[in-house]
Amino acid sequence: MTMDPAHDTISGEQADQRDVQKNNLADDNFAGLGGDSQPHQEPRRVNNDPRANTRQKGNQVRRDRRDVHGWVVLDKPIGMTSTQAVAVLKRLFNAKRAGHAGTLDPLASGGLPIALGEATKTVPFVMDGRKRYQFTVCWGEERDTDDIEGRVTATSDQRPTREAILALLPRFTGVIEQIPPRYSAIKIQGERAYDLARDGEIVELAARPVEIHHLTLVNQPDNDHAVFEAECGKGTYVRALARDMGRILGTYGHICALRRTLVGPFGENDMIPLDQLEALCDRAASGEGSLADALMPVETALDDIPALAVTRADAARLHRGQAVLLRGRDAPTSSGTVYVTVAGRLLALAEVGNGEIIPKRVFNLTGLTASSGRNERN
């Protein structure tokens, strides 16, 4: 699910993929992608103080960016854009590269997975996963953005009963046809729908199939509001869900509160509030802690992908972008995407087939990575 606010230029999941591509432009020369690679090196000792390594330029002191690899699942506060959140974490970690896995609008709170360094190569695997949201629908008004930030376009005095809401939920469960909001990141002849809508143009979007795995009524605090929980697949718009339910129920509706509680493999137990991150940064600067404690391993995003361990000799070939033949009775008989490890360390994303391992993405995890304790999921 993505939501695009009426007064912000954040795009949806398609724009997220574009951002990830830009984050990864520098990675396209890695082994397995037609470029040269460096020999495998053991990770070097790094300074955990993010304020270290500064350079003087004129009257300004500029910190050198450093290699930081892993995931941080920010519990994003209301009022912050996803782009702002990425910039803040990039500054806190003094990281060279960062990107997020799925836009979360300013009006929403909850899980915003942010990839640092080599973790940006695994962003698509998170974005393709399920998302879970708890959201509140305000009945009686439809707005042009389908959320509280938009302009009221229709009103009704009718309010749905609990029984009517419960009877409706099965119609919005499973694979359904959904028309995205006018204010969305979908492109129409090369232009974003929200840009056209803001310019006053009539935006007509075609319905497309989306999958909603679960939709439940959590609470009905008063006649004007209902709280729902939805677990859905990629491309689902919760704003459109609220809009369509309101119309069928004989009233109108829009989102007035939203919290994301699951993104792919990352749940609420993985989230960390911004103030805790800032406090951890301060402790690391004084030598009392390490920002590595806030990182989750790069391979956390690959939970649904089989792991394949190789020898150091095979690892050296894969790191150079060379295929490795599968030999012996212990060789895997399955085919498809795997993530390759050597001595318990992530090495590459690869394809297995026709008796060989073909590297597609090679990881270079020299720098700051997750603490050993973060390799165990809670």
Q: Which two tokens stand for residue 162?
A: 């609990």
| Count of Cβ atoms closer than 10 Å to residue 159 Cβ | 16
Q: Would you identify the CATH topology of the domain 131-263?
A: Pseudouridine synthase (3.30.2350)
pTM over 0.85: no
C-alpha–C-alpha distance, residues 291 and 307, integer Å? 27
Map residue 221 onto helix, strand or coil.
Answer: strand
Q: How many residues does the chain have?
A: 378
Q: What pLDDT shows up at residue 286?
A: 84
Q: Which two tokens stand for residue 81?
A: 């854009």
Kindly list the catalytic residues.
Answer: 105
Amino acid at 287: G
Beta bridge partners of residue 376, listed in sequence order: none
Amino acid at 194: Y
C-alpha–C-alpha distance, residues 123 and 21, integer Å? 10
Residues 6+ apart with CB under 8 A from 279: none
Q: What pLDDT shows up at residue 285?
A: 83
Q: What pLDDT shows up at residue 99?
A: 93
Q: In whole angstroms, what separates CA 314 from the centre of its chain?
A: 32
Q: What pLDDT shows up at residue 8?
A: 31
Alpha helix segments (H runs only) across 252-375: 274-285, 312-319
CB-CB contact of 109 with 77 (8 Å)? yes
Beta bridge partners of residue 114, listed in sequence order: 72, 100
Per-residue pLDDT of the chain (378 residues; tens, 9 = 90+): 444 333 332 333 333 344 333 333 333 322 222 223 333 333 333 444 544 455 555 555 456 788 999 999 999 999 998 999 999 999 999 999 999 998 888 889 999 999 999 999 999 999 999 999 999 999 999 998 899 988 899 999 999 999 999 999 999 999 999 988 876 666 666 666 666 667 566 677 778 899 999 999 999 999 999 999 999 998 898 999 999 999 999 999 999 999 999 999 999 999 999 999 999 888 888 888 888 888 999 999 998 899 999 999 999 999 999 998 887 665 666 678 999 999 989 999 999 988 889 999 999 999 899 876 555 544
Q: Would you identify the CATH topology of the domain 299-362?
A: 2.30.130
Q: What pLDDT shows up at residue 41?
A: 36
Phi, psi of 58, deg, nearest 5: 65, -125
| Count of Cβ atoms closer than 10 Å to residue 250 Cβ | 12
CB-CB contact of 73 with 112 (8 Å)? yes
Pairing state of beta strands 131-139 and 253-263? antiparallel
Phi, psi of 178, deg, nearest 5: -130, 130
CB-CB contact of 322 with 312 (8 Å)? no
Q: Which helix (H) or strand (E) holds 303?
A: none
C-alpha–C-alpha distance, residues 314 and 187, integer Å? 44
Whole-angstrom CA distances from 52 to 44, 87, 133, 367 are: 16, 19, 39, 14
Closest-CA residue to 230 (of 169, 178, 321): 169
| Count of Cβ atoms closer than 10 Å to residue 329 Cβ | 4
Beta bridge partners of residue 217, listed in sequence order: 228
Range(s) of the chain covered by CATH 2.30.130.10: 299-362
Pairing state of beta strands 356-362 and 345-353? antiparallel
Residue indicated by tokens 């190789």: 310
Range(s) of the chain covered by CATH 3.30.2350.10: 131-263
Closest-CA residue to 93 (of 131, 151, 60, 53): 53
Q: How many C-alpha atoms does 130 have within 13 Å on its Cβ side?
A: 15
Taking every pair of C-alpha atoms in the chain, what is the biggest distance, in angstroms?
Answer: 72
Q: In whole angstroms, what separates CA 273 from the centre of its chain?
A: 16
Q: What pLDDT shows up at residue 185?
A: 64
Q: What pLDDT shows up at residue 59?
A: 53
Q: What pLDDT shows up at residue 73?
A: 96
